[in-house]
């Protein structure tokens, strides 16, 4: 309700006299960008709102589909997190509890406004899919609710959730990080939280591992220097190089320098180094081997470029000495190969 009322002038769009008599027809609406499809009334007007929200408006109701960041929400915390988008001091909750939407577990709120002169009534179901919270809301006038609630039921029973276009399926226990400025996205353990405010060097840490990212485009880097740089990062960190492997991230050749931190024998580390479009990219991953033995493969395998690299400028700056992310016998491999 809070979501629907914040987006729409509901009172101005809903019928004020007499119920509709013509049989309502439905069509399938699909958003490959946001990863869902559902049935909506064929004649209702569609409008794209802010915050990844789409509304369908007719004379007998309003249907709203909206996405919000999952923000680490679990099934257990879903009711609390979702309530901020539904509840307010102007709404009276009539019912709430578990509800599935075409097999997808969710949390349902049913409510009405406290305005006795023009009472509105509605339903909102909240669901989790990959790294997003999905909200499907239906609102109408109280006297239209029983007859028009079929709109909500059709939407819920037909709802299909899938991986958004262009993205790889989200691994269990992971979340996405997207760096628009540097043109890539990847997946990292959901429990690893951001620890850096520097956009040039994003960093994340958890009890069982860390991820540091460096993208340096201040000068021209050479593709052939990636192997040397990978070895040098290991030496600069005072780690012991275990092995050096060549592989690919989203088709981009890269070097994987597996190494051992000197003060944490139960931990492992890997520097993933490559040069693309004259920019240096370094991913430094450290991990507790007993708990995160596959984390390098998971992060590397999820790496995606958002677009193709821009053509190199005709006048190139001179090559420069590499920076180090954070203070602290070759073989062929791929991101998905266990080490």
Residue 14: per-residue pLDDT: 62
Give the phi and the psi of residue 18 in degrees, each rounded to 5: 65, 135
The answer to whether the beta carbons of residues 310 and 182 sit under 8 Å apart is: no
Q: Over the range 135-173, which residues count as b (16 or more CB within 10 Å of their CB) and which as e?
A: bbbbbbbeebbeebbebbebbbebbebeebeebeebbee
Residue 13: per-residue pLDDT: 58
User: For residue 29, what are its two tokens?
Assistant: 């609406």
Measured in Å, how far apart are the chain's first and last C-alpha atoms?
51
- CATH fold of the domain at 2-161: Protein Transport Mog1p; Chain A (3.40.1000)
The answer to whether the beta carbons of residues 144 and 153 sit under 8 Å apart is: no
DSSP 316: P
3-state DSSP call for residue 262?
coil
DSSP 176-214: EEEETTTTEEEEEETTPEE----TTS-EEEETTEEEEEE
Residue 254: per-residue pLDDT: 97
Residue 327: per-residue pLDDT: 43
Residue 3: per-residue pLDDT: 60
Neighbours of 29 (CB within 10 A): 20
Domain 174-332: CATH superfamily, name plus number: Mog1/PsbP, alpha/beta/alpha sandwich (3.40.1000.10)
CA 235, 237, 240, 243 torsion-angle sign: negative
Residue 22: per-residue pLDDT: 61
Domains 2-161 and 174-332 share a fold: yes
Can you list the residues of the chain whose pLDDT is less than 70?
1-22, 308-339
Residue 160: per-residue pLDDT: 96
> CA-CA distances (angstroms) from residue 213 to 71, 167, 219, 323, 328?
21, 20, 17, 11, 13
How far is Cα 54 from Cα 58, in angstroms, rounded to an integer? 14
Residue 326: per-residue pLDDT: 52
CA angle 96, 115, 149 (to 5 degrees): 45
Residue 272: per-residue pLDDT: 98
Instruction: Locate the domains of the chain by residue range.
Output: 2-161, 174-332
Count of alpha carbons within 13 angstroms of residue 151, beta-carbon side: 32
The answer to whether the beta carbons of residues 305 and 248 sit under 8 Å apart is: no
DSSP 19: -
Alpha helices in 210-287 (DSSP H): 226-236
Q: Give strand pairing partners of 252.
A: 249
Residue 320: per-residue pLDDT: 43
Residue 338: per-residue pLDDT: 44
Residue 321: per-residue pLDDT: 44
Nearest CA-CA partner of 278 in 210, 204, 215, 193 = 215
């Amino acid at each position: 309700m809070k979501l629907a009322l914040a987006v729409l002038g509901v009172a101005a769009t809903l019928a004020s006299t007499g119920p509709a008599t013509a049989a309502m027809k439905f069509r399938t609406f699909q958003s490959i960008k946001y990863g869902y499809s559902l049935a909506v009334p064929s004649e209702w007007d569609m409008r794209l709102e802010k915050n990844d929200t789409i509304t369908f408006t007719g004379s007998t109701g309003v249907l709203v589909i909206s996405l919000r960041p999952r923000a680490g929400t679990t099934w257990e915390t879903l009711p609390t997190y979702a309530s901020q988008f539904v509840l307010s001091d102007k709404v009276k909750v009539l019912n709430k509890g578990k509800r599935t939407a075409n097999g997808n577990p969710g949390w349902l709120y049913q409510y009405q406004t406290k305005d006795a002169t023009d009472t509105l009534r509605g339903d909102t179901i909240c669901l989790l899919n990959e790294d997003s919270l999905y909200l499907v809301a239906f609102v109408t006038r109280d006297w239209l609710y029983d007859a028009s609630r079929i709109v909500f039921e059709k939407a819920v029973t037909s709802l299909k959730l899938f991986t958004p276009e262009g993205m790889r399926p989200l691994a269990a226990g992971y979340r996405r990080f997207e760096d628009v400025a540097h043109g890539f996205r990847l997946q990292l353990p959901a429990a690893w939280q951001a620890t850096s405010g520097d956009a040039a060097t994003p960093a994340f840490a958890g009890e069982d591992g860390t991820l540091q990212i460096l993208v340096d485009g201040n000068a021209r880097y050479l593709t052939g220097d990636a192997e040397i740089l990978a070895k040098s990062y290991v030496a600069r960190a005072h780690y012991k190089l275990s092995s050096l492997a060549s592989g690919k991230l989203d088709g981009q050749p890269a070097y994987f320098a597996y190494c051992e931190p000197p003060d944490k024998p139960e931990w492992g580390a890997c520097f993933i180094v490559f040069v693309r479009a004259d920019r240096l990219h370094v991913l430094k991953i450290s991990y507790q081997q007993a708990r995160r033995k596959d984390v390098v493969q998971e992060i590397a395998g999820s790496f995606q470029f958002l677009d193709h690299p821009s053509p190199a400028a005709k006048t190139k700056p001179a090559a420069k000495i590499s920076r180090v992310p954070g203070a602290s016998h070759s073989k062929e491999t791929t991101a998905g190969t266990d080490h």
